[in-house]
A and B are shown apart, each in its own frame.
Chain A
Amino acid sequence: MRRMILAAAAALTLVAGPALAAGEAEHPRQQKWSFDGPFGTFDRGALQRGFLVYKEVCSSCHAMQQKAYRHLANIGFSEEEIRAIAAGYKVMDGPNDEGEMFERTARASDRFKRPFANEKAARAANNGAYPVDLSLIVKARHDGANYLYSLLTGYKAPPPGKTVGEGMHYNPYFPGGQIAMGAPLNADAVTFADNTPATVEQMAKDVTSFLAWAAEPEMESRKRMGVQVMLFLIVLSGMLYAVKRKVWADVH
């Protein structure tokens, strides 16, 4: 019986292992993340710094359609701060009573302002490449957080013999080794409010944390609830086992 269970477990792990990531890319470098593991939580400081990096750097090309300014309350911004952040953007609204679309100041309930009106406009402004939406990027890539961090910090000169297409950049972590996006992060591109030095690694790590939160905003409550549910079920299993033994005592 035991063998059967072991075999089933082995079958599962073998079969369920995700298909190989695109063979031509280097494996992402593994980082330690505060949100790893069953008790992992997000580091609020990293999330807020990461949001700044997104806001100042990434958001000029990458949209985050699933996120609204109000969601920032979740990473520790106050209502006034959120209102102030939103007020920095103009969004389209309408039609008004005259039937015209009009621009107004963004509110907390608005989604993050998209840099381009649509995919075509985004491609036209980026040499035909499409800067993907980042709301789900950490879930949409295998080993997402490590991949993003490796990609953001992985720009270097192409090795001898490797030619890189025009307008492309060498990055060994990107499938195929060439990416249209130039190295997005430069040291001191932003100034963090908490005086953390804005090195490329720091910014990459923080913005990755922010994007991990953006992809899985429910993660902390999910894991917290998970611990409670598991404890409950384990105790319940133990009790039911005791009941089962009592009930069966007279059969054997």
Chain B
Amino acid sequence: MAQHGGHQPNHGAEGETRRDFLYLAAGGMGAVGVAAAAWPFLRSWSPAADTLALASTEVDIASIREGQAVTVTWRGKPVFVRHRTADEIKQAADTPLNQLPDPQPDARRSAAGKPQWLIVVGVCTHLGCVPQGQRPSETRGEFGGWFCPCHGSHYDTSGRIRRGPAPKNLEVPPVTFLTDTSIRIG
């Protein structure tokens, strides 16, 4: 400004540096303050305490007969609980790993010591549709497991991807057997 240019005080180089440092420090502190103030707002979008507390589900599996499957809800998503037949178990166990896009042995996917129980998250790993194959009326795809109608992914009796666009096997959730007939997912 013209009216100030005239009486710009004659700060020496030293005064200049001190002033610049002050501006920088105050500005920096202000920026830190704004960033810190943004954090609680961003964090408020993360799952709330009550949402996290409901992160486990208990299921009674006594009534699921061999060959049958039920769908339960866990964290708002469907979970497939299938009581596999001996035939299905054998099929899953005998599949050579080199035929699998996402190689995983069946023993690592079914319940430990209880191979008849297969529990997987019923969400196709392609784009999140729910595969068919739970009810007798639905197709189980070419590998006897599940078939995703959205883009044609086929899963086998271990919930592993065999053909189609899905990149990964159906996710296995953490499962604890509370008794022989009752499980906790999560």
Interface string of A88-119 (1 = CB under 8 A from B): 00000000010000000000110000000000
**Chain B's nearest CB lies how many Å from the CB of A44?**
19
Complex CA distance for A235 and B26, rounded to whole angstroms: 9
- If A236-B30, A250-B4 touch, does A68 touch B22 (CB 8 Å cutoff)? no
Interface string of A53-96 (1 = CB under 8 A from B): 00000000000000010100000000000000000000000000
Question: Is the CB–CB distance between A108 and B29 below 8 Å?
Answer: no
| Contact in complex: A246, B22 (CB < 8 Å) | yes
Contact A236 B26 (CB under 8 A): yes
Query: Is A242 part of the contact surface with B, judged by Cβ < 8 Å?
Result: yes
Q: How many interface residues does A have (CB within 8 Å)?
A: 17
- Let me know if B97 is at the binding interface, CB within 8 A: no
* Interchain CB contact under 8 A, A235 and B53: no
Q: Does A68 contact B53, Cβ atoms closer than 8 Å?
A: yes
Given contacts A70-B53, A108-B53, A236-B33, contact A242 B22 (CB under 8 A): yes
Q: Which residue of B7, B26, B50 contacts A243 across the interface (Cβ within 8 Å)?
A: B26
Asked if A239 is at the interface of the complex by the 8 Å CB criterion, the answer is yes
| In the complex, number of A-B residue pairs with CB atoms less than 8 Å apart | 38
> Is A249 part of the contact surface with B, judged by Cβ < 8 Å?
yes
If A236-B33, A246-B19, A250-B4 touch, whether A109 touches B54 (CB-CB below 8 Å) is: yes
Q: For the complex, is B112 an interface residue (Cβ under 8 Å from A)?
A: no
- Interface flags for B1-22 (1: CB within 8 Å of A; 0: not) read 0001001110000000001001
Per-residue CB contact flags for chain B residues 23-66 toward chain A (1 = under 8 Å, else 0) read 10110011001001000000000000110011000000001000
**Contact across chains for B53 and A243 when beta carbons are under 8 A apart:** no
Which residues of A are found within 8 Å of B8, using beta-carbon distances?
Answer: 250
Chain A, 205-234, contact with B by CB distance < 8 Å: what is the 0/1 string?
Answer: 000000000000000000000000000110
A233 to B23, CA, bound (A): 16
